[in-house]
Amino acid sequence: MANLTDTQKAALEQKIKELKEAGKSPREIHSAIGNMLKQWGIQIPQRPSKPPTPPWMTNLTDTQKASLEQKINELKEAGKSPQEIRSAVDEMLQQWGIQVPQRSGDHPNPPWMGNLTEEQREALKQKIEEMKAEGASPREIHSAIGDMLKQWGIQIPQRPSEPPP
């Protein structure tokens, strides 16, 4: 998006709005936007069909892999957060003597999350899921979550407009 002109950005936003109003699915909207970008000579990298297998997985036995998969499924069904699931997996790996390197993509919960009740966390999670199902953009979801937090009296710091040098 940073390489697009203001005119191109406006055209994309208008197209997305039109497609949403026409009841198009997120997949159809994504495809249409991809076609517009291709017409402008912008190549979109393909997303991998599944995440790469971590190197430590090759050190696990079939039994250990099955145990991990079972634990992950149990935790997902119990509604545990991705962070809680990762912690449980890391604990199992440590018990087996497998040291997992620190994940560079981990994003710890922001400090204001500690101020939420379990009901508020659940309300946020439900709102995000509903909006994703409706095809809302990340910007729209972020705005709606910000509004909910404001209603609860929780101030979240503004993101910087540009990354630090």
R_g of the chain computed on alpha carbons = 20
Neighbours of 40 (CB within 10 A): 13
135: left (phi over 0), alpha (psi -120 to 50) or beta: left
- Per-residue pLDDT tens over the stretch 117-136: 878 888 888 888 888 888 88
Q: Which 3 state secondary structure label does DSSP give 54? A: coil
Taking the C-alpha atoms of residue 165 and residue 127, their distance in angstroms, rounded to an integer, is 34
- Per-residue pLDDT tens over the stretch 47-101: 666 666 777 677 788 898 899 899 999 999 999 888 888 888 888 888 888 776 6
Distance of CA 105 to the CA centre of its chain: 11
DSSP 8-state class, residue 43: P
Sign of the Cα pseudo-torsion (27, 29, 31, 34, in order):
negative
Query: Could you tell me which residues come within 8 angstroms of residue 23 by beta carbon, excluding any fewer than 6 positions away?
Result: none
Taking the C-alpha atoms of residue 160 and residue 124, their distance in angstroms, rounded to an integer, is 23
pTM over 0.75: no
